[in-house]
């Protein structure tokens, strides 16, 4: 059975049990929820964004949801992957993060012009535990495909976090820095601008670069 992934934005009343009622209708329509996010619009209304793999017509699901008394409105929207695509998360020292971002954004622009969708997020962070927590949290972010660790010294708990997220399928690129993180990463690049460029190339469908085919991992 073929399914189509759709995006829905539902305006609902606030209060307990609202999400339960929405998901009940979606399950009845044989929809498989792949992502959900709730944002408070006001004290009287919430916005619930859902991405759903649906085997039947989306219009039938919209009509069924509109029958609920807690629903104020339903809108079919493009999925976030369609609009923003794959995400690269760059974290570490501010100066290095900025240089990696220059390369990543420039290269992403080249691929996005050709029909790709790649977005770049940055967060300057210092501290072993803060960075380790941030690395682990990337695995919980929707559409995240790669992390770039940009700094001059990282190891310890950050290395453990890198190995954990790599086991979950995330690509981890590290600048060539002191500490044990470069040993744990998929790819180590000395020049920060080039690190951004190579990370984009590694996840882009419109590029032929494949990290797994490299004979070495340090550049």
C-alpha to C-alpha distance for 71 and 19, rounded to whole angstroms: 10
- Average pLDDT of the chain is 91
Q: Which CATH superfamily is domain 82-213 in?
A: Hypothetical protein af1403; domain 2 (3.40.50.10550)
Of 41-45, 91-95, 119-123, the range with the lowest mean pLDDT is: 41-45
Q: Domain spans of the chain?
A: 4-77, 82-213
pLDDT confidence of residue 217: 80
Band the pLDDT of 120: cuts 50, 70, 90. Answer: very high
Q: Tell me, rounded to whole angstroms, the distance of Cα 83 from its chain centroid.
A: 12
Query: Looking at the domain that runs over 4-77, which CATH code has it been given?
Result: 3.30.70.260
For residues 156 and 101, is the Cβ–Cβ distance under 8 A? Answer: no
**How many CB atoms neighbour CB 20 within 10 A?**
8
Percentage with pLDDT > 70 across the chain = 99
Percentage with pLDDT > 90 across the chain = 75
Is residue 103 scored above 80 in pLDDT? yes
C-alpha to C-alpha distance for 95 and 151, rounded to whole angstroms: 9
Same fold, 4-77 and 82-213: no
pLDDT confidence of residue 4: 87
Is residue 70 scored above 70 in pLDDT? yes
Tens-place pLDDT, residues 14-50: 989 999 999 999 999 999 999 999 887 678 899 999 9
| Sheet of strand 187-189, all strands in order from the earlier edge strand to the far edge | 118-124, 86-92, 144-150, 171-175, 187-189
pLDDT confidence of residue 213: 73
Band the pLDDT of 1: cuts 50, 70, 90. Answer: low
Tens-place pLDDT, residues 166-186: 999 999 999 999 999 999 999
* 3-class DSSP state of 164: helix
Q: How far apart are the first and last CA of the chain?
A: 45
């Amino acid at each position: 059975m073929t399914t189509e992934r759709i995006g829905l934005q539902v305006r609902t009343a606030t209060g307990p049990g609202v999400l339960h009622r929405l998901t009940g209708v979606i399950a009845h329509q044989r929809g498989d929820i792949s992502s959900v996010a709730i944002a408070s619009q006001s004290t009287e209304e919430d916005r619930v964004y859902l991405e759903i793999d649906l085997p039947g017509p989306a219009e039938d699901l919209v009509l069924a949801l509109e029958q609920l008394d807690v629903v104020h409105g339903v809108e079919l929207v493009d999925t976030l992957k369609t609009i923003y695509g794959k995400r690269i998360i760059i974290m570490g020292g501010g100066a290095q993060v900025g240089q990696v971002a220059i390369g990543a954004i420039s290269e992403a622009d080249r691929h996005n012009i050709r029909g790709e969708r790649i977005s770049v997020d940055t967060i300057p962070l210092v501290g072993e535990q803060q960075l380790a927590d941030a690395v682990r949290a990337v695995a919980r972010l929707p559409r995240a495909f790669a992390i770039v660790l940009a700094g001059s010294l990282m190891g310890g708990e950050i290395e453990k976090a890198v190995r954990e997220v790599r086991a979950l399928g995330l690509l981890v690129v590290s600048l060539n820095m002191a500490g044990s993180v470069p040993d744990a990463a998929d790819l180590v690049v000395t020049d920060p601008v080039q690190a951004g460029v190579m990370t984009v190339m590694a996840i882009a469908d419109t590029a032929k670069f494949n990290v797994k085919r490299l004979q070495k991992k340090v550049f």
